[in-house]
Amino acid sequence: MKQRLAVIGNGMAGVFCVEQILKHNHNFDITIFGDETHVNYNRILLSSVLAGEKEVDDIVLNDIDWYKQNGIQAKLGLRIDKIDLANKTIHSVQGCTTSFDKLLIATGSSPFLPPIGGIDKQGVFVFRTLDDAKHLLALSGAGVKAVVIGGGLLGLEAARGLQLQGCDVTVLHLGTHLMDRQLDFTGGQFLKRKLESLGIAVRCNAVTTAFTGDAHVEGVTLNDGTQLPANLVVVAAGIKPNSGIAKIAGLDVNKGILVNEYLETSHPDVYAVGECTEFEGQLFGLVAPLFEQGKVLAASITGNRGPVFTGYTPATKLKIMGADVFSAGDFDDMREGVECVRLEDPSLGIYKKLILRNNKLEGVILVGDASDDHRFMDWLRNGTDLTEQRRNLLSPAASAGLGEDAAALPDSHTVCGCNGVSKGAIIEAIHNQGLCTLAQLKDKTRAATGCGSCAGLCQSLLKAVSPDYAEEKAKVLCSCVPFSQDQLREIIRSQKLKGVQEVLDIYGNGIGCEVCKPALSYLVDVVWLGDHDEDRSARFINDRVHANIQKDGTFSVIPRMRGGVTTPAELRKIADVAEKYNVPLVKVTGSQRIDLLGVKKADLPGMWADLGMRSGQAYTKGVRMVKTCVGSTFCRFGTQDSIATGVELERRLEDLFTPHKTKLAVVGCPRNCAEATVKDIGLIGQEGSWQVVVGGAAGKGVRKADLLITVETTEEALDASALFFQYYREHGVYLERTYDFVERLGMEKVRRDTVYAADDVKQGLLDRLQKSKDRASDAWLERDNPRPYQFAPIEVPNDGLVQIQMQEKAHV
């Protein structure tokens, strides 16, 4: 006979415990009650949802199929208001009664609402659930004045999210410094400066006395009389355990439901896990210890009593990109017998402090750089004797690469604090299940699916252990901004950075170099579909003056000649311009167009105007040309109109930037006279259809292009090219030609994500291409409106002459 196990609370701790029970040989009929209407989701990532970094679907932990497949009854949207211990039943507000043999209470906690006048006004929110996040998202936006009450972890994450949604955000904090439970005063100051540099206003020692306004909040009053306008308020002033129903039922409750080391309550058939519990005076606000609880209970409730719950070392990590904070243990350095080791670098915004007693770590604070937090956490948990490391406590052992670092960790080391996955468990999963990618590892072990900060470590473990590990190209862009290009795209998008300098200021060394600046210029352009802040000082000289620099400092001018087709009038103009400007060399290029070489910088705008032709983009990482053969227009073998198709293809894609130069060709039959099989994108005509091929090259190396798709109509061929083109723009690494790109991703993936993708995915690619295209224009039109001093040198007589220069300024 199966036992009925009822679970109150469909949140992180309760469902995790059920997952663990499923791993044991159990004999339960499980029913989970949750008052939220959503399936089990990752509450930690609500901050990311608010920040626009994650969609609601991304944070689901167990979808409805999981409940079905495991025979679990889910009762969602149902609030339990009474537990009858005598009759072993629970009752919902909606009026239904359920009997149980065993009961697990996992009701979590609720936001604490301080007694402030007007707190019930519209526009005053808490931030705990997915619905809260949705409400906040709906109301936030540009021009909204938001005030966050509380400068703890939750308040700051909410503040950053709202600010990224466009709100003007002020954080009001009661304490003397931010995150005062996790940071000392100096740490709080460092964090404050960091947040202010991100654009969030912060006031400490701020006592809120009232919310003003009629029905809807309009302002916040402080005890010093200050009035702040506010159309949106988030109260994040702490949490209190949801232990009310347990108390009324007669269970032993202090602040939280009292549990022992097996998570048993004062009633033999009732257990509790999560933030609603209290263990030896400890309350909980982070998931790591709750998952410990879940494991211990799952074992003991299924008759496998083993390890016990022993409480935890508090450790906190702030999840705001660009404002790293890590804190663990007791960081009070005024205590008797402790030593303090610290590092402060105001210009880098880095603050680190370690508290030691008898050469053992007791507390740690990291602000601005929390990259080696796991090392400190390990020392703290294991009570490691640090006598030998005293000389380089704060500097990570320089020789140890990530891999070696990971290798040195003990098997018991918890790699993923959020999900409580140990190094040993990860290695076992890699071996037994043949995992070789991070995605597989996440899927099978749940490591790195919480806050995600252990992804790097998981990656190194894969690298060290998996025989099939394929190096994922996650190289950092440059030491000036030490992030991979994928991360940078994500940062630029989610943190709404529109200019190169902003990225460098917040995530880099503030200056940059010739490697990262052009790459960042590309990334902001492509992420914002051309709606970015163009910064010419970050571009290579070719892109500042739209011409290719030559060995003697002169430039070359190659006008666009779509499909290699020209006219006598155009040729005449080119000839006239060449003579007028004394162009030293006129040459037909390898790409079916004409090059005017040896042009002085100052002559460029004049030449473009006289030519009246578009820029051929021969100087940039963009669309060069579409070479064509004569095709069916004149050729006796031609099966398709390669000229018209090539001209149209060039017209659709020209003027856009790409990760590296993109060269295309269209041929009218497989004889391939314009070499389409060795181009980045090639169209090969055949009787009644087109082959679209990609990733070809005949440069440094020769690579035959791969077939993307064969289609019947010219329009379909143009669309397929456009899909691949935009996909390459969005996923290519800067300076990666398509021949490397398709090899890195594999053609299967490329096809699946482009021509064989779902209709809405394809439409998305085409729409984004169109948006970029709508904002793009012929670079040579800058001749009509040159940036100040883009082309002309300053001429000054020997004794200097300021007046002339003053006039020049007045003209611009």
Ligand X SMILES: Cc1cc2nc3c(=O)[nH]c(=O)nc-3n(C[C@H](O)[C@H](O)[C@H](O)COP(=O)(O)OP(=O)(O)OC[C@H]3O[C@@H](n4cnc5c(N)ncnc54)[C@H](O)[C@@H]3O)c2cc1C
End-to-end CA gap in the chain: 89
Per CB under 6 A, does 14 bind ligand SF4?
Answer: no
Stretch that binds another protein, among 301-309, 330-338, 751-759, 804-812 (CB under 8 A): 804-812
Helix, strand or coil, per DSSP, at residue 617: coil
Comparing CB distances to ligand SF4, the nearer of 618 and 625 is 625
CB atoms within 10 A of CB 534: 15
Least gap, CB of 548 to ligand SRM (angstroms): 4
Per CB under 8 A, does 802 bind another protein?
Answer: yes
Q: 707 pairs with which residues across the strands?
A: 693
How far is residue 417's CA from residue 411's CA, in Å, rounded to a whole number? Answer: 14
Per CB under 6 A, does 562 bind ligand SRM?
Answer: no
Stretch that binds another protein, among 138-146, 361-369, 615-623, 799-807 (CB under 8 A): 799-807
Residue 541 binds which entry of ligand SF4, another protein, ligand X, none, CB below 5-8 Å type-dependent: another protein
Least gap, CB of 518 to another protein (angstroms): 8
Instruction: Give me the torsion for CA of 347, 349, 355, 360, rounded to 10°.
Output: -90
Per CB under 6 A, does 425 bind ligand X?
Answer: no
Least gap, CB of 579 to ligand SF4 (angstroms): 33
Phi, psi angles (nearest 5°) of residue 209: -110, -25
Comparing CB distances to ligand SRM, the nearer of 405 and 595 is 595
Instruction: Could you list the beta-strand ranges (E) of 106-249.
Output: 109-111, 124-125, 145-149, 168-172, 201-203, 208-212, 219-222, 227-229, 232-235, 239-241
b/e map of 241-265 (b: 16 or more CB within 10 Å)?
A: bbbebbeebebebeebbbbeebbbb
Per CB under 6 A, does 658 bind ligand SRM?
Answer: no
How far is residue 470's CA from residue 467's CA, in Å, rounded to a whole number? Answer: 9
Instruction: Give me the torsion for CA of 221, 223, 224, 228, rounded to 10°.
Output: -20
Task: List the one residue out of 126, 147, 144, 148 whose CA is nearest residue 135.
Answer: 126
Least gap, CB of 500 to another protein (angstroms): 10
CB atoms within 10 A of CB 311: 13
Q: Which of residues 522-551 bind another protein (CB under 8 A)?
A: 536-538, 540-541, 544, 549, 551
Phi, psi angles (nearest 5°) of residue 367: -130, 135
Comparing CB distances to ligand SRM, the nearer of 449 and 556 is 556
Q: Which of residues 521-550 bind ligand SRM (CB under 6 A)?
A: 548, 550
Size of the site for ligand SRM (CB under 6 A): 19
How far is residue 740's CA from residue 609's CA, in Å, rounded to a whole number? Answer: 38
Q: Which of residues 652-671 bind ligand SF4 (CB under 6 A)?
A: 667-669, 671
Least gap, CB of 783 to another protein (angstroms): 17
Helix, strand or coil, per DSSP, at residue 655: coil
Per CB under 6 A, does 319 bind ligand X?
Answer: yes
Stretch that binds ligand SRM, among 110-118, 408-416, 586-594, 772-780 (CB under 6 A): 586-594
How far is residue 549's CA from residue 541's CA, in Å, rounded to a whole number? Answer: 7
Identify whether the C-beta of residue 203 lies closer than 8 Å to the C-beta of residue 173. Answer: yes
Comparing CB distances to ligand SRM, the nearer of 315 and 604 is 604
Per CB under 6 A, does 683 bind ligand SF4?
Answer: no
Least gap, CB of 670 to ligand X (angstroms): 58
Strands 689-694 and 681-686: antiparallel
Q: Which of residues 269-308 bind ligand X (CB under 6 A)?
A: 274-275, 285-288, 290
Residue 14 binds which entry of ligand X, ligand SRM, another protein, none, CB below 5-8 Å type-dependent: ligand X
Helix, strand or coil, per DSSP, at residue 363: strand
Comparing CB distances to another protein, the nearer of 31 and 509 is 509
Least gap, CB of 729 to ligand SRM (angstroms): 17
For residue 641, give Cα distances in angstroms to 567, 630, 634.
Answer: 19, 8, 10
The single residue among 346, 510, 612, 699 that binds ligand SRM, judged by CB under 6 A, is 699
The single residue among 56, 402, 436, 698 that binds ligand SRM, judged by CB under 6 A, is 698
For 166-199, give the secondary structure using H, E and C: CCEEEEECCCCCCCCCCCCHHHHHHHHHHHHHHC
The single residue among 6, 26, 34, 353 that binds ligand X, judged by CB under 6 A, is 34
Contacts with ligand SRM, residue ranges (CB under 6 A)? 548, 550, 556, 558, 587, 589-591, 593, 595, 618, 624-625, 663, 697-700, 737
**Residues found near another protein in the complex (CB under 8 A):** 480, 509, 511-514, 517-518, 536-538, 540-541, 544, 549, 551-553, 787-790, 793-796, 798-802, 805-806, 808-809
Which residues here bind ligand X, judged by CB under 6 A?
8-14, 33-36, 43-44, 46-47, 79-80, 106-108, 127-128, 154, 157, 242, 245, 274-275, 285-288, 290, 319, 418, 451
